[in-house]
A and B are shown apart, each in its own frame.
Chain A
Amino acid sequence: MIRQCFIIFACLAVGEVIVWLTGITIPSSIIGMLLLTALLQLRAIKLEWVKGMSDFLISNMGFFFVPPGVALMLYLDLIKAELLPIVVATVVSTVLVLVVTGWIHQISEKGERVRTDDGDTAE
C-alpha cells in the first residue's frame, strides 16, 4: 500500500514540480497521469505496484466530486438570474460535443479499418 501511494503521489509531485518550473497551464494531475502511463509503458514500474490503489481511486472518483459540486450553493442567486442561458447553453453544447465527437470518431475509425482490410495500410 505504501509503495502504491508513493508511486501515485510521486507522479503528482513531479507534475507539480514541472508546473512550478515551466509555468505551463496544464494541471499537475494530468502530467502525473501521463507520467504514470509512461512509467508503466517503459516497464520502469510493474502494474501490480499500482493496480490496487488505482482501482480504488478510479472506482470512487465520482464521490470526490461531491464537495466541488456543493459549491453550487454559493451561486444559487446568479444561477437563478441567468438560469435559462446557463442551462440551455450547457445542455445543447454538451449534446453537440457528445454527438459530433462520437460521429467523427466512429466514421473515421471505420474508414481506417476498411483501409487496413483492403491492404492499403497493412504492413
Chain B
Amino acid sequence: MEILQNNLVLLALTFGIFYGARQFQKWTGWIVLNPILVTIAVLIVLLKLTGISYETYSQAGGYIEFWLKPAIVALGVPLYQNLGQIRRQFLPIFFSQLVGCVIGVVSVVVIAQAMGASRETIISLAPKSVTTPIAMEVCQSLGGIPSLTAAIVVSVGLFGAVFGFKVLEVWHVKNPYSQGLSIGTASHAVGTSRAMEKGASYGAYASLGLILNGVLTALLAPFILKIMGI
C-alpha cells in the first residue's frame, strides 16, 4: 500500500471524495450530509484502515490547506461590496459582536469546566468560534493544544454551516443581515462559505462576523480566561 502514501495520490483521493460527497448531497438533498464533513469522515476511516499516519496525509493536505489564507483575503471583496450598508449599521453590528464574543468564550469554558473537562481541553475549546489561524494562535498563547483547537474549530464551523440557519429560524432571528452576521460570528469561515451559497449579502455579513469576532477574541480571550481563573 506504499503507493497510497504518494502526495499526488492522496490529493486526487481528497478531490475525488469531496466531489463524490457533493454529488451525493445533491442527489439525496440532505443538508446533514455536508460534503466537508463527509470527506473528513471518509478520509479518517480510510487513513485508519490503511495505516497511513496523519503526518503523511498532512504533507499532501498542506497543498489544499495552503489556499485557506488567500481565501480569507478574498473575503475582502464581498466586504467591500457591502461596506456602505455596514457603515450605516455600525453600532448594532459592533455591539452584537462584542456580546457574541464574550458569550462564546465564557459559555464554552463554564460548561466544559462544570462537566469536568481537563484544563488543556478547556483552553483548546475557548477560541472555538473564530477562524482557525486566530483560534490556534490564541490557544497556543494560553497553553492549550493548537491542533485540537483546529479540529474543534472545523467541527464548530460544520455545526454552524449545517444547523445554523435552522437554529436562527427556530429562535425567530429572521433578518437576513442578522442571520449572516450570527453565522459568521459563531462559525467563522465554514459558516461563511455556507452563507455565501445563500446569497452575497448573507455572505458579506458573515465575513464581517468572522473578522470582528476573530479580532475581538484575539484581543479579549486571554483577559476573559484570566478573570475566570483558568
Chain A interface residues toward B at CB < 8 A:
8-9, 11-12, 15, 25-30, 32-37, 40-41, 47, 50-51, 53-55, 57-75, 78, 82, 84-86, 88-106, 108-112
Contact = CB atoms under 8 A, between A and B. Distances in A.
Contact of B186 (A37, A72, A94, A111): A94
B168 A86 contact: no
A35 B199 CA distance: 23
A27 B71 contact: no
B138 A25 contact: yes
Given A32-B69, A91-B159, 17 more contacts: A25-B137, A29-B70, A30-B211, A33-B73, A36-B77, A62-B36, A66-B40, A70-B44, A75-B145, A75-B148, A94-B159, A95-B167, A98-B167, A98-B183, A100-B100, A102-B171, A110-B175
Given A108-B95, A112-B89, A12 B73 contact: yes
B225 interface: no
Query: What are the 5 closest A-B residue pairs judged by CB atoms, nearest first?
Result: A67-B61, A36-B76, A102-B173, A54-B74, A101-B100
B185 interface: yes
B175 A73 contact: no
A89 B192 contact: no
9 contacts: A33-B207, A63-B64, A68-B61, A68-B132, A85-B121, A86-B112, A100-B99, A102-B175, A109-B178
B45 to A, nearest CB: 9
Contacts of A98: 160, 164, 167-168, 171, 173, 182-183, 185-187
B107 A92 contact: yes
B76 A72 contact: no
Contact of B65 (A37, A50, A67): A67
B178 A106 contact: yes
